[in-house]
Amino acid sequence: MGSISLYLVNIILISSHILLSIGQEQNENHHNTQQMFDVLDRVHAKCPEITYIYDLPLESVQKRPLRVIVFSDNPKHHELLEPEFKYVGNMHGNEVVGRELILTLAEYLCHEYKKGNEQIKKLVDNTRIHLMPAMNPDGWEIAVQHAWNISKPDQFKDIETMLKEHGTIDWTVGRANANGVDLNRNFPDLDEFIYAYNHDANHRNNHLNFETFVALTSKKDCHNKPYQPETVTVAFWIMKNPFVLSANLHNGDIVANYPYDDSANHLRMYSPSPDDQLFQQLAESYSHANSNMESPKKACGTDVFPEGITNGAAWYPVCGGMQDFNYLASNCFELTLELGCRKFPPGKDLPHFWNENKNALINFMWQTHVGIKGIINNEDGEPIFNATIKVYQLVNDNWEYIDHDMTSNPDGDYYRLLADGTYGIKVTKPGYESQIQYVDIHNKEHQTNAQRLDFTLQSASSEQFNLQRMFRNYMNKY
């Protein structure tokens, strides 16, 4: 029995070594579209109870799926009071580190969950996490094929070797989609609407869905380019799902970029959103967990970013970007993360990028749980959909309105990311009496429960409802 046991132990050790070696080899290789899907399938096969794979309704120009893997203890459905998070990679096809980090992150979440890592189990069980490795799979294929076509004869035995040892060096080929359109300039320009609305005393400040439809039906973006299938399907994905927090992953510098990405006059200048303090905190939650990003040196030989963060328009203005669209078309707060100087580095460098970003990727997901959340019901206990959540912050003994409202989901649940402080939360809905509650926020590291704040709205009398309607009509005129 002793010799048999020893034999089995040796077999297990050898098998483990082989698996680890294979995993390391995979981490040093870039993945084409099919290989990327194979990774997602393997993760799902290993962790079927906490994962779910789906495709967005529209494919890319060259008919490649935009595929997402979900992690949660109930991955197929939104759960009441469980916030939803997303990472989007490879929006620019030749910026590939985010694509590979998301694949490695998917493997890591599955492995650590199965292993019993308490922090990962806590995060996955209390957050619905959506991971899209590639928003622009066509651009990736274009970048790779171009690099292979211009490589010297016999320089590399095949494309995979080229990517592992050399990557690609062209700064522009593959950035756009197969129609030559930059997807991060192709979203409806909701900044234009919000800057115009800010001149009015009573204005819309969130869920600019009508404006989105107006822009899409005009058929051209703010750069006079046609709206692309990748952009349209991602835009509706953003508006349809109850995302709370998000980041899209890029290359070209090392910094965490936050809204607004464009200024009112499209010039380079600091352009704060109403949630500027919170966005800075969210950006620092990533940069401070990435020592290379946090460093004040010129990481890529050009700009210096204090604390590793920047306001988008202060760096350079972007019209039609995805992060501002998230903020103005939905309940979602999004950052743009620039993760390296070189856009398509050699695959052999990928383990370094993972080690540099792993803690930051995880720490940023925890931020989905800062602030408050709750359920909004009527007096009969029925959920109220599309109630408006307004926030007032106590600053120097004065209540200051944060001019960006949230709305409740179909089941009545809502989520409002907030930094530490004292707030007044006001909930309104036509046909109901408004209600306000006050709360002190003290966020804790790696908390999975934002402070709970529920509301029960009472039906307004017909007289009160008519007065509310008259007041709204009056304010809308002026």
Catalytic residues: 338
CB 57 within 8 A of CB 138: no
Q: How many CB atoms lie within 10 A of CB 358?
A: 16
What residue has token string 């806590």? 122
Dihedral angle over CA of 72, 78, 81, 84, nearest 10: 60
**Cis omega before residue 327 (within 30°)?**
no
Please give the structure tokens belonging to residue 165.
Answer: 């040892």
Do 369 and 450 form a contact (C-beta atoms < 8 A)? yes
Residues 6 or more apart whose CB falls under 8 angstroms from that of 314 comprise 268, 269, 270, 271
- Whether the CB-CB separation of 258 and 84 falls below 8 Å is answered with no
Instruction: Write out the two tokens for 161.
Output: 């070797």
Place of tokens 């794979």: 53
Residues facing 435 on adjacent strands: 427
Q: What does the block give as tokens for 384?
A: 């109220």
**With contact defined as beta carbons under 8 Å apart, do 113 and 361 qualify?**
no
